[in-house]
Amino acid sequence: MVHPVFADLPTTIFEEMSGLARQTGAINLGQGFPDQPGPLAVRQRAALETVEGYNQYPPMRGLAELRAAAARHYGRFQGLDLDPDLEITVTSGATEALAAAFLSLISPGDEVVLFQPLYDAYLPMVRRAGGVPRLVTLEAPGFRLERAQLEAAFTARTRMVVLNNPINPAATLWEDEDLALLAEFCVAHDAIAVCDEVWEQIVFDGRPFRPLMAFPGMRQRTVKIGSAGKMFALTGWKVGFICAAPALTRALAGAHQFLTFTTPPNLQAAVAWGLDHCPDWFAAMPGALQRSRDRLAGGLTAAGFAVAPSAGTYFLMVDLAASGVRESDRTFCLRTVTDHGVAAIPISAFYETGAPVNLIRLCFAKQDATLDAGVERLARARAVVI
Ligand code: PMP
Ligand code: GLN
């Protein structure tokens, strides 16, 4: 009756945990969304565009002003030189961009190299497109790439590699050596790299973000995916970007036109305005999140939890076993959300094989009082089982 990929597919862990948090009134440190409303000027712009702007179908590939603003943005922040007309497509969030990439670039039987832990949308959509996943597991705590692993994963049938940088949920940023190594394999195997770089703007401690597209040999074979929802802390907006060389963009846009065709023009116009008019936001946002990261990490450490470093994203990971908690990640998360009023995400949900069961993910894009209350509740949940 239904396609086998979807027959037994569970609801995503983010929705499951947020659903439980809604039911129980728990503090939600699970799904990644800020509890601040996002930049006022950008929201006001969306309101203005809704009331006084154009609200009919915009151009299929996105408003020209948004594609131009995105090209300027990536030029300013990442030194990329993108042609807004031929190389940028606006999508309904990074999620649609990923689907468009998989549907348009994978043919049945093509092998696709993916890295565990992996964002939950990748595997079902790669499989639905007919791709054959070849999983490489990155080892905690560094989540670095090993040449031998790539040698084992890439074959004559490799068509695509899917990269997430910074990594959700590991909160690590790929090192230049790792990216260079991956680029070497992509070039040698004539493979396309789909780079989910939605967290590109949220990198801490002054480290630069390096897009894989900028590495030698990658400009023509990289599909770079971004998300305005992440750039402006407006996760519900679902305005995404796909950047890729013209030949790839033609195929990507072909899939996009039958997935959603377009994305609401009022939001596109507000994002276009925000990309050019909010330098203060982009300058301050990572620092503010870094302070929240440090507050949550400090509180958790003081409460006896073993906290992994976070180089980017809204997230940090906690090692339950190293924190003295003798419970699996999922059991702990279900217990904390129902009994202790705080939601977290079990990391095993990001693995298909060989999942660790000792790690959970917490979102620190929250106000101080929320973080402090979350720590108190997690400490109570820990006290019961140590
Ligand atoms: N990829 C990753 C790695 C993500 O973390 C997210 C959302 N948190 C997405 C894709 C989806 O982005 P969007 O909301 O723009 O669809
Ligand atoms: N990407 C968000 C996270 O990692 C969740 C997005 C979703 O719920 N689909 O928390």
Identify the domain boundary among 277, 309, 336: 277
Report the nearest atom of ligand 1 relative to the CA of 230.
15
44/165 same-domain check: yes
What pLDDT was estimated at residue 1?
87
204/334 same-domain check: no
271/188 same-domain check: yes
Mean pLDDT of 8-23: 96
Report the nearest atom of ligand 2 relative to the CA of 363.
10
What's the rounded Cα separation, in Å, for the pair 157 and 143?
A: 25
166/256 same-domain check: yes
Tell me: the pLDDT tens digits for 80-107?
A: 999 999 999 999 999 999 999 999 999 9
What's the rounded Cα separation, in Å, for the pair 300 and 320?
A: 11
Give me 246's structure tokens: 């013209």
Report the nearest atom of ligand 2 relative to the CA of 198.
1
Ligand nearest to the CA of 236: 1
114/257 same-domain check: yes
Identify the domain boundary among 277, 299, 320: 277
What's the rounded Cα separation, in Å, for the pair 302 and 373?
A: 14
Longest Cα–Cα distance in the chain: 59
What are the Cα distances from residue 231, in Å, to 281, 283, 343? Answer: 9, 11, 24
Of all protein residues, the one whose alpha carbon is nearest to atom 1 of ligand 2 is 32
What pLDDT was estimated at residue 166?
98
Tell me: the pLDDT tens digits for 22-35?
A: 999 999 999 999 99
Of all protein residues, the one whose alpha carbon is nearest to atom 9 of ligand 2 is 14
Which residue among 227, 232, 259, 314 has the greatest number of ligand 1 atoms within 8 angstroms of its CB, and so is best to mutate? 227
Of all protein residues, the one whose alpha carbon is nearest to atom 3 of ligand 2 is 32
> Percentage of the chain surpassing pLDDT 90?
99
What pLDDT was estimated at residue 386?
85
CATH number of residue 249's parent domain: 3.40.640.10
Classified as helix, coil or strand, 81 is: coil
Which residue among 90, 230, 345 has the greatest number of ligand 1 atoms within 8 angstroms of its CB, and so is best to mutate? 230
Mean pLDDT of 272-293: 98
Please give the distance, rounded to the nearest whole angstrom, from the Cα atom of residue 32 to the centre of ligand 2: 5
Tell me: the pLDDT tens digits for 195-237?
A: 999 999 999 999 999 999 999 999 999 999 999 999 999 999 9
Enumerate residues lining ligand 2, CB below 6 A.
12, 14, 31-32, 168
223/309 same-domain check: no
C-beta neighbour count of 356 within 10 angstroms: 21
337/258 same-domain check: no
Type of residue found at 358? N
266/329 same-domain check: no
196/300 same-domain check: no
Please give the distance, rounded to the nearest whole angstrom, from the Cα atom of residue 227 to the centre of ligand 1: 7
Ligand nearest to the CA of 345: 2
Tell me: the pLDDT tens digits for 155-190?
A: 999 999 999 999 999 999 999 999 999 999 999 999
Mean pLDDT of 275-284: 98
Report the nearest atom of ligand 1 relative to the CA of 119.
3
In 3D, which of 166, 153, 168 has the Cα closest to residue 122? 168
Q: How many domains does the chain have?
A: 2
Q: Please, is 274 exposed, middle or buried when counting C-beta atoms within 10 Å of its C-beta (0-12, 13-18, 19+)?
A: buried
Instruction: Give the residue numbers spanning the domain of 25.
Output: 4-31+281-385
| Average pLDDT score, the chain | 97
For the chain, what is the total number of helices (H) and then of strands (E)? 14, 13
Which residue among 102, 198, 256 has the greatest number of ligand 1 atoms within 8 angstroms of its CB, and so is best to mutate? 198
Mean pLDDT of 274-290: 98
Side-chain-side CA neighbours of residue 242 (13 Å): 36
**Alpha carbon 242 to chain centroid distance?**
14
Of all protein residues, the one whose alpha carbon is nearest to atom 8 of ligand 2 is 14
Respond yes or no on whether the N-terminal peptide bond of residue 141 is cis (omega within 30° of 0): yes
157/288 same-domain check: no
What pLDDT was estimated at residue 194?
99
Mean pLDDT of 188-194: 98
Ligand nearest to the CA of 349: 2
Tell me: the pLDDT tens digits for 55-85?
A: 999 999 999 999 999 999 999 999 999 999 9
What pLDDT was estimated at residue 130?
98
333/208 same-domain check: no
Classified as helix, coil or strand, 222 is: strand
Report the nearest atom of ligand 1 relative to the CA of 168.
3
What are the Cα distances from residue 238, in Å, to 15, 96, 114, 156? Answer: 16, 9, 24, 36
What pLDDT was estimated at residue 244?
98
79/51 same-domain check: yes
CB crowding 226-259: b at 16 or more within 10 Å, else e:
bbbbbbbbbbebbbbbbbbbeebbebbbebbeee
Please give the distance, rounded to the nearest whole angstrom, from the Cα atom of residue 177 to the centre of ligand 1: 25
The pTM for the full model equals 0.97
CATH number of residue 26's parent domain: 3.90.1150.10
Tell me: the pLDDT tens digits for 103-151?
A: 999 999 999 999 999 999 999 999 999 999 999 999 999 999 999 999 9
**Could you tell me which residues come within 8 angstroms of residue 40 by beta carbon, excluding any fewer than 6 positions away?**
none
Please give the distance, rounded to the nearest whole angstrom, from the Cα atom of residue 61 to the centre of ligand 2: 25
Please give the distance, rounded to the nearest whole angstrom, from the Cα atom of residue 187 to the centre of ligand 2: 31
